Amino acid sequence: MVVDDSMVARSMIIRGLSAHPSIEVIGYAINTLDAKVKIPKLNPDVITMDVEMPGKSGIDFLKEYLPQHPIPVILVSSLNLKVFDALDAGAVDFVRKPASQDNMDAFVT
């Protein structure tokens, strides 16, 4: 499942992940409120989540949601966020969002 408020970034991540034969993107959410509703319905194995979104940030969402509902989350951001901040919030990994479509191949491999 992909959680990102940017339609461009969300589409790029979904397209990139869906190209991998072992990955099925089962849905997306446009922010953390949408994610909170959709996660129990879709029951994803893994979530990619943007850090900066309107309302609640991805890190704040993880601090609140993961203790009661453990699920592997990979935080994705274009910000210079410290990796340890992401991991401390409960993320299993942190990756930098590709700056352009040209960088997408490196992002999904």
Which domain CATH number covers 48? 3.40.50.2300
Domain count, the chain: 1
Structural domain contains residue 38 = yes
* Containing structural domain, residue 49: 2-92
**Does some domain include residue 31?**
yes
pLDDT value at position 58? Answer: 87
Return per-residue pLDDT of the chain as tens, 109 residues.
999 999 988 998 999 899 999 999 999 999 999 999 999 999 999 999 998 888 888 889 999 998 888 999 998 887 666 667 778 888 888 887 766 665 666 666 6
Please report whether residue 100 resides in a domain.
Answer: no
The answer as to whether 105 is a domain residue is no
Q: C-alpha 66: how far from its chain's center? A: 14
Per the CB < 8 A criterion, the answer to whether 40 and 32 are in contact is no
Phi, psi dihedrals of residue 78, rounded to the nearest 5° = -95, -5
Supply the pLDDT for residue 94: 81
In Å, how far from its chain's centre is CA 102? 20
* pLDDT recorded at residue 21: 92
Task: Please indicate, yes or no, if residue 45 is contained in any of the structural domains.
Answer: yes
Confidence at residue 57, expressed as pLDDT on a 0 to 100 scale: 86
